[in-house]
A = this chain, B = another copy of it.
Amino acid sequence: MSLLVVGSVAFDSVKTPFGEVDEVLGGSATYFSTAASYFTNVSIVAVVGTDFPDKHLLFLKSRRIDIEGIEKKEGRTFRWKGEYGYELNEARTLDTQLNVFQAFKPKLPEKYKDKKVVFLANIDPDLQREVLQQVKEPALVACDTMNFWIGGKKGPLLETLKLVDILLINDGEARELSGEPNLVKAANIILSYGPKTLIIKRGEYGALMFSGKKVFAAPAYPLESVFDPTGAGDCFAGGFMGYLANTMNFQEANIRKAIIFGSVMASYNVEAFSLDRIKSLDYSEIEDRYMEFKKLTHFDDLG
């Protein structure tokens, strides 16, 4: 089954202790859809400016990603500039230029309205709902958000959360959204807002899933060289949702597998700048790393 994502398509300029790149392809919808494309067909809703080169659109098409929903508008494409220190855990934003993204009014092409699996990447929660309202009968809806919306648009965000099955956020966001420092308590509060499942992304420490009374902890893959963490969370979401959309099995046991596939995609993504590593993986590499996660976490039963 194919997957719909709304989010940003952008130019990123990134500096890490290991190098720097200028105006490379980035954005949440770009990372998400590229990661998801290894599992299922993906359709993007986004906006770019007239400066956005065809080669990037051709790349997305080459990964069986439907770009009909990427609107080209007079003006410049969204730009983000950030920098990471040696710890590589959090970017320092140096510059954000919303450009054409500022007046983004997502409008779904007719053929997108029948999509069953929807991911609302980190955009204004009002826009998230506008997208969702255009989808006729979604079977699974997941979303991301960030501190900016938790702090500035909590009301609209809570409205969105009522309509969402799975929320994916990081630990700082979970604490801020719930007003509770303990993550287990924070998760229970957030689940009371609507989502049936909460996935807390913890960067180099992996991810935690809370679903009803069940909890699942997945480690991050221990990498010898982390080059650029930009897009890791979106690749996690892409692998996660791509696997769910492909299997159309939303049971808790399958959500666990999807979390591992998300972790696999995030771990590949951080090995290079931009989409350089994840744009041309073999599916066997994804399966190999899934098996590595099994070895990484396995321990024997009692007795």
> Of B218, B293, B299, which is within 8 A of A260 by CB?
B299
Are A206 and B217 interface neighbours, CB within 8 A?
Answer: yes
**Is the CB–CB distance between A224 and B294 below 8 Å?**
no
Q: Within the assembled complex, what's the spacing in Å between the Cα atoms of A85 and B44?
A: 44
Decide yes or no: A183 and B87 within 8 Å by CB, A205-B205, A299-B256 being known contacts.
no
Q: Does A155 contact B (CB under 8 A)?
A: no
CB proximity of A181 to chain B, nearest CB, Å? 5
| 5 extra A-B contacts, CB within 8 A, seeds A182-B225, A182-B226 | A202-B205, A208-B219, A217-B222, A218-B297, A219-B219
A-B complex: 7 closest residue pairs judged by Cβ atoms: A217-B219, A256-B299, A205-B205, A184-B224, A86-B181, A184-B222, A297-B297
- Nearest-neighbour CB distance to chain B for A20, whole angstroms, equals 18
Interface flag for A302 (CB, 8 Å): yes
Contact with B along A176-191 (1 / 0, CB 8 A): 0000011111000000
Residue A236 is within 8 A (CB to CB) of chain B in the complex: no
CA distance A223 to B215 in the complex (A): 11
Count of identical protomers in the assembly: 2
Chain B residues with CB under 8 Å of A86's CB are 181
Residue A54 interfacial (CB < 8 Å): no
The secondary-structure label for the interface of chain A is mixed
Q: Does A216 contact B (CB under 8 A)?
A: yes
Contact with B along A260-303 (1 / 0, CB 8 A): 10000000000000000000000000010011011111111110
Once bound together, how far apart are the Cα atoms of A103 and B301, in whole Å? 45
A257-B217 contact in complex given A183-B222, A205-B205, A225-B182, C-beta closer than 8 Å: no
* B302 and A287 within 8 A (CB): yes
B-side contacts of A290, CB under 8 Å = 302
**What are 23 A-B interface contacts by the 8 Å CB criterion?**
A86-B181, A87-B181, A182-B224, A182-B225, A182-B226, A183-B222, A184-B223, A184-B224, A185-B224, A206-B217, A206-B219, A215-B222, A215-B296, A217-B297, A218-B297, A219-B219, A257-B299, A257-B300, A260-B299, A287-B302, A293-B299, A294-B301, A297-B297
B296 touches A217 (CB 8 A): yes
* A258 nearest CB neighbor, chain B only: B299
**Complex Cα distance A218/B183, Å?**
18
Q: Chain B residue with minimal CB distance to A217?
A: B219
Q: Which residue of B lies closest to A185 (CB)?
A: B224
Query: Is the CB of A253 closer than 8 A to any CB of chain B?
Result: yes
